[in-house]
Structure formats: C-alpha cells, structure tokens
C-alpha cells in the first residue's frame, strides 16, 4: 500500500515538473513572438498576441511607418498617417526640397519652391559658380558671371596663380604674372633652392647658389657627414673628414672597442688593442 502511494506521488511530482517546463517554454516562445511582432519581423504570429501586446505592436508599427515616410523609404503608407502627421510630413518634405535646391542637389524640384525660395536657390547657385570660377573648379560657367563678378574672379585667379608660383605648388602660369610678381616668384624659387641644398634635399640645384649659399651648403653637408660617421652609419664618407675629425673618430672607436673587450659586451676586436690594454684584460698573465 505504501509502495503504491509512493509511486502515485512520484508520478504527480514528475508531471508537475514537466508541466512547469512546458509552461516556461511556452512563455518564452510567446515573449519571442511579441518581440518579433514589435520589430516587424516575418516571424511574428499576430494570433498569439494578447490584447495589450497587440496594442503595443500596432503602435510600434505605426511609428515605423511614420519614420519610413519621413525618410522616403519604400515601405511608407501615407493613408495610415493622422492629419497632424500628414501635415508635419508635408512641412518636412518641403523644407528638405528647399535645402536640396539651395545646396545644388540633383534631388531638387524647382517647381515646388515658392518664388522667394526660388530666388534664394538661384542666388546660392550663383555664389557656387563664382566660387568655382575663382578656385579654378571644373564646374565654373563664365557665361553666367556678371561684369563685376568676372572682374572679381579674374583678380582672385591672378592672386591664386601668383601664390602657386611663389610656393612652387599648384598650376603656375608664369605668363600671367605681373613684373613685380615675377620678381617675387624668382626670389621665392631661389630661396627654396638654397634651403633644399642646405638641407640635403633632392630638389637642390647647386649651380643656382650664390658663393655664400654654396659655402653654407658645403658646411651643412660636412656637418651631416660628420654626424653619420660618429653614429657609425653606412652613409658615412670618411674621405670627406678633416684630419682632426678622422683622428677623433678613430680615438672614439678605439675606446669603444677596448670597453667592449673589457666588459664583454658589444663587438670586440682584440687584435686592435695595445699591449697595455691586452694586459689589463688578463691581469694575472
């Protein structure tokens, strides 16, 4: 009797546990379905929603539709918008078109502009054309310039050309320079060449240096060579060193070699040590 009762109780406990697991799994499925519906995913099953969940899903779907309409996405249903939302959308669409027209975007619809907005867009387009002509842009249309604008553009282009020639950058047209600008450009080019030579840059033309500049360049080149020799770099030209410099370098290298042998660190060439130095390495001998 006791055995039977125990069996019945165990069976009931097992059933209760199984029911709890099934209930939990069902609850999880419903929760996932609710999230899928709110996100508008294909996995959504509207029939499994409660009344409260259906209301939340409907609100989320409406909000998505409003956003789609504002962003001009394909999935926009204007028929579901409220009157206020429709008006707000129309205002936003109009302002976006105004901005596109003023910015010169291809999406601009001129026919939807008010007369005042059309004038603003035309003025903006005119300014863009003037700027393009002044900067040498490919979108410049000289035929659209007024007499005063053409004069301002010519002046700006002349200044830009002079700046390019002085700085050795951009597209320099020497034929467009005034006599004073030609002189300034020549002075700038000479100064840049002297700096290039003194700094050891490839753009150096030694033939264009003055006697003073040639001496300064030679001194700078000698100092650079001395520095690389002191650093043991491969570009060192020992033949260009003076006798005192060569001796100083040799003394420094001899000292380095001795310390390397003495401390056992670094490259050591024992054959270059003096007898006394060799004796200090092996004081017992």
In this predicted model, what pLDDT tens digit does every residue of 50-76 receive, in sequence order?
Answer: 888 888 888 888 888 888 898 888 888
pLDDT of 52 reads 82
Q: How far apart are CA 221 and CA 199, in angstroms?
A: 8
Q: DSSP H helical segments within the chain, as ranges?
A: 2-39, 51-70, 83-102, 115-135, 147-167, 179-199, 211-230, 243-263, 275-281
Report whether pLDDT(221) > 90: yes
Q: Which of 199, 172, 202 is nearest to 185 (CA)?
A: 172
Q: How far apart are CA 285 and CA 279, in angstroms?
A: 7
pLDDT of 25 reads 60
Q: Which of 57, 52, 28, 33 is nearest to 43 (CA)?
A: 33
Report whether pLDDT(184) > 70: yes
pLDDT of 169 reads 73
């Amino acid at each position: 009797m006791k055995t039977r009762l125990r069996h019945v109780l165990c069976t009931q406990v097992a059933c209760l546990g199984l029911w709890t697991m099934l209930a939990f799994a069902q609850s999880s499925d419903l929760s996932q379905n609710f999230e899928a519906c709110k996100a508008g995913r294909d996995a959504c099953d509207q029939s499994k929603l409660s009344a409260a969940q259906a209301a939340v899903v409907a609100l989320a779907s409406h909000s998505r539709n409003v956003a789609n309409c504002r962003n001009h996405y394909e999935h926009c249903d204007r028929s579901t918008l409220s009157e206020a939302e429709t008006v707000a959308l129309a205002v936003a669409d109009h302002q976006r078109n105004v901005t596109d027209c003023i910015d010169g975007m291809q999406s601009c619809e001129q026919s939807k502009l008010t007369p005042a907005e059309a004038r603003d867009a035309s003025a903006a387009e005119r300014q863009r054309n003037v700027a393009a002509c002044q900067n040498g842009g490919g979108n410049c249309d000289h035929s659209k310039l007024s007499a005063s604008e053409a004069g301002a553009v010519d002046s700006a282009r002349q200044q830009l050309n002079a700046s390019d020639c002085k700085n050795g950058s951009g597209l320099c047209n020497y034929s467009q320079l005034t006599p004073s600008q030609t002189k300034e450009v020549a002075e700038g080019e000479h100064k840049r060449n002297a700096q290039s030579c003194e700094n050891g840059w490839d753009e150096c033309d030694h033939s264009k240096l003055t006697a003073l500049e040639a001496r300064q360049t030679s001194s700078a080149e000698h100092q650079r060579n001395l520095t690389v020799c002191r650093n043991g770099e491969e570009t060192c030209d020992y033949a260009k060193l003076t006798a005192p410099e060569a001796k100083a370098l040799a003394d420094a290298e001899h000292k380095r070699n001795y310390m390397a042998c003495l401390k056992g660190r670094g490259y050591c060439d024992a054959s270059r040590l003096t007898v006394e130095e060799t004796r200090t390495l092996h004081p017992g001998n």
